[in-house]
Amino acid sequence: MRILLIIFIGLLLSNCTNHYVKNKKTINSPNDLMKFTNIWCDKNKSTDKVIKMCGQGWSKDLTISESKAIMNAKLKIADITQHTLLRNEKITHKENGKGVLKSYKMTADNQLTEATISGYKIVSKKVMKEKNGWRTMVMLTYNM
């Protein structure tokens, strides 16, 4: 009986999160934005063949908000598919009268140069009112 009750409550709670995302029309606070973003971005997971990425943008102009959201998601996809990680290590040993001084320095730089993301698809888009502007959320898919 307890197991059935736990399953029933779990189904109700999972339905509440989908209901929350579908019926959301305005963002009222930073916590509200964080909750919505977590639910929105966790609903689709990437696989080995398809990258699914969410992006968001805010602007007083709706068109700019949509462009920012798409660019945000495309940058995340490009970072996964076409980035270069440059690493530089420097190890020095100096001997003085008291012993050996050792130093170690490592720098790493993540570079994204001339990335091309073509063939992406907008799977879903949600536009909400936030303060005196628009918050746009998009979900893109990109086939590997």
In the 3-class helix/strand/coil scheme, how is 113-131 assigned residue by residue? CCCCCCCCEEEEEEEEEEC
Could you tell me the pTM of the whole model?
A: 0.63
Structural tokens at position 96: 């003085």
pLDDT tens column, 120-144: 888 889 888 888 899 899 999 888 7
What is the reported pLDDT for 126?
A: 87
CA distance 100 to 92: 10
Q: Is 90 exceeded by the pLDDT of residue 66?
A: yes
Strand spans (E) along the chain = 26-27, 50-59, 84-96, 99-111, 121-130, 133-143
- Strand 121-130: give its sheet, edge to edge: 26-27, 121-130, 133-143, 50-59
Q: State which amino acid sits at residue 9.
A: I
**Domains in the chain, ordered, with CATH?**
27-83+114-143 (3.10.28.20)
Share of the chain above pLDDT 90, in %: 10
Q: Is 50 exceeded by the pLDDT of residue 24?
A: yes
Q: Is 60 exceeded by the pLDDT of residue 2?
A: no
Burial label, 100 (beta-carbon count in 10 A; 0-12, 13-18, 19+): exposed
Backbone angles phi and psi of 74, in degrees to 5: -65, -40
What is the reported pLDDT for 94?
A: 85
pLDDT band at 20 (very low <50, low <70, confident <90, very high): low
